[in-house]
Amino acid sequence: MMNEDIVAVSLFSGAGGLDIASFMANVPVISSTDFDADCVETLKANEMFGNTKVFEGDLHNIDSDVFKNCVIEHNPKKFIVIGGAPCQPFSKAGYWVGNQTRRGINDPRATLVDEYLRVVVDIQPDGFVFENVESLLHPTNKVIVEKFLEIVEENGYTCKIVRANALDYGVPQKRKRLFILGTKGSFKSEEPRKTHCDPSKCDVLGLKPYVNVGEVMQGFDTDEYFEEYEVAKGGTYYNDLCQVPPGQNYKALTAWAGYPNPKFVADKRFWSFLLKLSPDMPSWTITAQPGPWVGPFHWNNRRLRAPEAAAIQTFPRGYKFCGSRRSVQKQIGNAVPPLMGKAMIEFVKESLE
């Protein structure tokens, strides 16, 4: 028996973004789970998960007792549940209709959000961190959040909804996410502690300036890290990409920007078309499945290498990913940036101490 002060049970672990965050917050992860075989291999390939039980499978088919038994085996003073449930499709069954919550928990048609709630209700952690897309607060989806809060509050949790931008926590990337944080204790402050801000406000707020991608991507622009995937040369829009200044997108090549002989019309393309990073700025959101000419591209007119994308997400340097290049991109793009997750987990941990 380890009898640690506080440990975490991770659901929808993916490549381990939120799990790494938990380790960073000194909350060891005792179990991780995902249905994707490559994600499971990724977790097992990294030393920090050496003492973590990793389960492969669909959460619909994993009994809550599996996680309860892990907790009993470790015998911690406190434990939390962490995870970012895949958000599509949202269920019209399960919890979100009517008040028969137990039927919702057991409904085989229920979504993965339902499954997260089912585990929380069944194993009664001292706190939890739930991550999702910001659009969960959109009026069409709001019923999900309302029912989520209703159920956890019935189970004795105090909650906070945090609309967070990864930039504020030292991640060199604009990435907005929604967190629902729950505790059976009491929150000691209003919100998770921000560490970074717009450089113009640093003196007033006493925080560090936003991190730029040039800082975290150093060392990867060598032949050693070359990938076939990165080559854009010879492609349909390669010459146009070369004309886009760092930190801008295709709109730099339109009449709107005063470009001579414009090839494109402003606002007729998706904003990330030919989007190019600048080393002196943070990145835009790293995506799981970028289209062929969707950025962000490297300022050297190529696609980002996997370790560069991972660095922008604040994965530890040298973290191993398993699977095809497409699978690795998906794992990195779907992850919660560890530094962002760390702030959320620390906030919940503090409420339990």
Q: Is the peptide bond before 296 cis (omega within 30 degrees of 0)?
A: yes
The pTM score is 0.92
Kindly indicate the confidence band of residue 94, based on its pLDDT and cuts at 50, 70 and 90: very low
Residues ≥6 apart with Cβ < 8 Å to 154: 101
Query: Are 164 and 333 a contacting pair, CB within 8 Å?
Result: no
The radius of gyration computed from the CA coordinates of the chain, to the nearest angstrom, equals: 21
Entry field: residues in the chain: 353
For 120-130, what is each residue's pLDDT tens digit? 999 999 999 99
What is the percent of the chain with per-residue pLDDT over 70, rounded to a whole number? 92
The CATH number that domain 6-194+338-352 falls under is: 3.40.50.150
Q: Where are the domains of the chain?
A: 6-194+338-352
Kindly report which listed range (215-219, 290-294, 302-306) carries the lowest average pLDDT score.
290-294
Active site residue 322: no
Residue 284 CA to residue 297 CA, distance in Å, equals: 10
Reference 291, options 329, 323, 319; nearest CA is: 329
Cα angle: 120, vertex 163, 183; to 5 degrees? 30
**Residue in this structure with the two tokens 């709001």, named with its chain if needed:** 142
Q: Give the active site residue among 39, 70, 87, 159.
A: 87
CB 188 within 8 A of CB 348: no
d(CA 228, CA 236): 17
Per-residue pLDDT tens over the stretch 206-238: 999 999 999 999 999 999 999 999 999 999 999
